[in-house]
Amino acid sequence: MKLIFVCIALACGLGGCMASTWSDEKYKSASMDEIWAHYNLAYNNFTTDERERARLAMVDRVDKSEWTAEELEAVKARKVMRGLTERQMVLSWGPPISRHVVKSPYGEQVTFDYGADQYVYFHDGVVSWWHLEGR
């Protein structure tokens, strides 16, 4: 009996059977926390279409009252631009593979590493420049 449970658990973990796509109604009724959790699951286990649906649902639900029209357009189009916040960048491209922080007398500098020689650099919380060899 234990062996069967372990096999099913392994198969679900490897095959993603715990993950499911959401209907448009589910996205509309879900809280931001639920959408974020689903997005993180979708990012690793779903097709590009489901990741994109989850990302756009989050963009639609997040408070954008302090965003400029250019920032909103960039995030929706999966672009990077100077001035985007870390949260906006995650909504635009998804979570980075790694995040590096360096504090200095000149402020905090953060680097998002997206792999394939793609980096986004933040100074005091906003994008200051980027290197996109692989994009």
Residue 65 belongs to some domain of the structure: no
Give the model's pLDDT for residue 14: 40
Task: Find how far residue 22's CA is from the centre of its chain.
Answer: 17
Range of the domain at 97: 82-135
Check whether 8 has a pLDDT greater than 60.
no
**pLDDT tens figures, 41-53:** 766 777 888 888 8
The total domain count for the chain is 1
Residue 54 lies in a domain: no
Q: What is the pLDDT of residues 83-122, one digit of tens each?
A: 999 999 999 998 889 999 999 999 999 999 999 999 999 9
- Please check whether residue 71 lies inside any domain of the structure: no
**Residues 10-21 pLDDT 10s:** 334 444 444 567
In-domain check, residue 15:
no
Burial of 75 (0-12, 13-18, 19+ CB in 10 A): buried
Res. 57: pLDDT tops 90: no
How far is 1 from 64, CA to CA, in rounded Å? 51
Q: How far apart are CA 1 and CA 23, in angstroms?
A: 35
- Classify residue 4: in a domain, yes or no: no
β-pair partners for 121: 111, 129
What is the pTM for the complete model shown?
A: 0.71
